[in-house]
């Protein structure tokens, strides 16, 4: 059954002829999303394959509800596959961006090739809500370049007075470079503050790889100088300096685009990688105007359940508590059967075992 037929049933069953077709599609989308969150199984187990560009660390996954596994696949002559470590929160992400997996040294002794075509370090990712397109962006003050003890070229100044975010990457060569492990180094940023007064800040980057923030708010940036960094090998370390607003906003749940999630990877990749996502995915939202080609699990298998849920969503606006609860009982009864059927089908596939 297509969304066109389901929409007609919604109109006839609810009697809400005051709603436009766009209104009805809106409520059916809300209903579908709600049902997706209550059933995991046939309707949601899927795989998504995307591509992460070289020098990028963010990938948007449409309709993703929860992650199970993330794999990176190298392309061309580099080849190789690596399983990405999924982090659960921003605190864990920040704690892990400075941590590197040293097992490649053991792999080298055992003559086992590194599973990652680019890195000897562990690759991690964190799932965050999708943000509305172009809701915000960071200004790149210093483009990503090899880290050296020298004056860096300033690309531009911030659009507004803001703190600056410094990203130090280390251990990019594979296998791990013996030089991994910066223990000293500073970045000196010279510019002006929000009032136009001179502002100079020296940022201690002796912890090596990771993010560093300035405490001062820079209105303009005239000079950036790196000094005293040790154990540098060309191509093994990178530095990037951007405005800090994006990182700040990512701490907040600002999502309006609930149709997907964003994965942020660390460290930033040096080459194009195919990203394989295995997880729970929601149904594809219905577009307006609706067409016969738009079909989902709910319109095909349980169209009236979708209609009931859309009608239930309308009840609070009518202050009809009793009607809302009546729909709740009917909807939960069907959801119970769907989830029970899923459990039974999984149990039936298990081999019989005997203990004792």
Q: What is the pLDDT of residues 134-166, one digit of tens each?
A: 445 678 999 999 999 999 999 999 877 888 999
The tally of domains found in the chain comes to 3
* Same domain? 315 vs 304: yes
* Same domain? 121 vs 263: yes
At residue 9, the pLDDT reads 92
* Same domain? 129 vs 261: yes
* Same domain? 261 vs 129: yes
Residue 356 lies in a domain: no
Residue 322 lies in a domain: yes
Q: Does residue 43 have a pLDDT over 70?
A: no
Beta bridge partners of 266: 124
* Same domain? 25 vs 64: no
* Same domain? 126 vs 260: yes
At residue 131, the pLDDT reads 54
**Domain limits for position 18:** 3-42+283-342
**Tens of pLDDT, residues 284-339:** 888 888 788 888 889 988 999 999 999 999 888 788 888 899 999 999 999 888 87
**Phi and psi of 152, rounded to 5°?**
-100, 150
Residue 347 lies in a domain: no
Q: Please report, for residues 125, 133, 264, the alpha-carbon distance to residue 257 in angstroms, rounded to integers and kept in the order given.
A: 20, 9, 17
* pLDDT higher at 79 or 264: 264
Residue 176 lies in a domain: yes
Residue 80 lies in a domain: yes
* Same domain? 70 vs 89: yes
Average pLDDT, the chain: 77
At residue 41, the pLDDT reads 56
pLDDT category of residue 48 using cuts at 50, 70 and 90: confident
**Interatomic CA distance for residues 214 and 163, integer angstroms:** 5
- Which of 120, 47, 139 is closest to 82 using CA atoms? 120
Mean pLDDT across 263-291: 81
Q: Does residue 345 have a pLDDT over 70?
A: no
| The token pair that represents 207 in the structure block | 């912890």
* Same domain? 37 vs 69: no
At residue 344, the pLDDT reads 47
Q: Of the spans 48-52, 69-73, 308-312, which averages the highest pLDDT?
A: 308-312
* Same domain? 91 vs 176: no
Residue 288 lies in a domain: yes
Cβ neighbors of 166 (< 8 A, separation 6 or more) are: 187, 203, 205, 211, 212, 213, 214, 239, 240, 241
* Same domain? 143 vs 241: yes
* Same domain? 33 vs 65: no
Burial class (CB in 10 A: 0-12, 13-18, 19+), 79: exposed
Residue 350 lies in a domain: no
At residue 342, the pLDDT reads 58
At residue 76, the pLDDT reads 60
* Same domain? 130 vs 258: yes
At residue 166, the pLDDT reads 94
């Amino acid at each position: 059954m297509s969304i066109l037929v389901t929409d007609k049933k919604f109109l006839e069953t609810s009697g809400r002829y005051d709603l436009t077709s766009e209104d009805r599609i809106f409520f059916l989308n809300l209903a579908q999303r709600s049902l997706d969150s209550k059933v995991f199984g046939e309707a949601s187990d899927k795989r998504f394959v995307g591509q992460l560009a070289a020098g990028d660390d963010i990938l948007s996954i449409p309709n993703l509800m929860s992650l199970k596994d993330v794999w990176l696949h190298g392309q061309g002559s580099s080849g190789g596959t690596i399983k990405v470590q999924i982090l659960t929160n921003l605190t864990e992400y920040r704690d892990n961006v400075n941590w590197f997996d040293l097992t490649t040294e053991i792999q080298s002794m055992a003559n086992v090739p590194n599973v990652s075509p680019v890195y000897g370090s562990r690759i991690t990712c964190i799932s965050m809500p999708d943000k509305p397109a172009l809701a915000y962006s960071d200004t790149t003050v210093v483009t990503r370049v090899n880290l050296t003890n020298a004056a860096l070229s300033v690309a531009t100044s911030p659009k507004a007075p803001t703190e600056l975010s410094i990203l130090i990457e280390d251990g990019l060569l594979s296998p791990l470079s013996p030089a991994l492990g910066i223990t000293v180094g500073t970045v000196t940023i010279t510019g002006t503050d929000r009032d136009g007064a001179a502002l100079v800040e020296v940022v201690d980057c002796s912890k090596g790889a990771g993010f560093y923030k300035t405490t001062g708010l820079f209105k303009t940036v005239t000079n950036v100088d790196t000094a005293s960094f040790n154990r540098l090998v060309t191509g093994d370390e990178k530095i990037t300096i951007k405005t800090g607003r994006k990182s700040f906003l990512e701490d907040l749940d600002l999502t309006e685009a609930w149709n997907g999630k964003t994965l942020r990877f660390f460290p930033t990749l040096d080459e194009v990688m195919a990203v394989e996502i295995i997880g729970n995915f929601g149904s594809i939202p219905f577009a307006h105007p609706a067409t016969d080609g738009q079909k989902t699990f709910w319109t095909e298998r349980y169209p009236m359940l979708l209609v009931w849920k859309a009608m239930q969503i309308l009840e609070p606006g009518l202050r009809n508590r009793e009607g809302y609860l009546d729909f709740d009982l009917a909807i939960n009864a069907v959801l119970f059967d769907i989830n029970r059927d899923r459990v039974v089908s999984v149990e039936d596939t298990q081999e019989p075992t005997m203990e004792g």
